[in-house]
Amino acid sequence: EASFFGKVCIDLYSRNKVATVTKHIPGHGMANKDSHFATPIINENKKNLIKKDFFPFIKKKSFFAMTAHAVYKVYDNNVATHSETVIKKVIRKHIKFKGILISDDISMKSLKLNLESNALKALQAGCNLVLHCNGNLREMNRLSKVIPKINKFTQLKTSQFYKFLG
């Protein structure tokens, strides 16, 4: 079972001072497309989402989690990364994730806005950090001009992470 093995891995890594990143929260199991290339749209009811996709993430003690660039139609028309509803109601409240929430790569094809808008919308929805992975220095420079400083919550959680590392 994914939930059992996830807990075992998180606990084992934690004992050895290795932080984990659970992904892709709140779950990618029922996605029918690869979010690197297209936007997965999941038309499933809440009961099945909770039972199948969300369950493996519930109450896991990971310092970090990475969002899914998937649309959960029963909650919102935005991908989870851009959805304040999914982040607040599902990830933070139902799943009870208390750590640093990182967006998946904001340059992936599943996101339809320009790079800066993708980043800002992820932060406004509730991501604490945005991930940009394609190595394009011009894009990184553009992002550095619009991304705000990290908030107090992210500073606190980062401090706790450094203490964890010893």
Catalytic residue positions?
36, 104
Query: Which pairs from 110-117 meet CB under 8 Å and 24+ separation?
Result: 110/33, 110/35, 110/36, 110/37, 110/38, 110/39, 110/40, 110/69, 110/70, 110/79, 111/39, 111/69, 111/79, 111/81, 111/82, 112/39, 115/139, 115/142, 115/143, 116/142, 116/143, 116/146
CA atoms within 13 A on the CB side of 139: 15
Token pair recorded at residue 130: 């945005």
Instruction: Locate 117 and state its tokens.
Output: 């808008």
Pair 36, 110: CB distance under 8 Å: yes
Q: Quote the CA–CA distance of 45 and 112 in Å, as a whole number.
A: 25
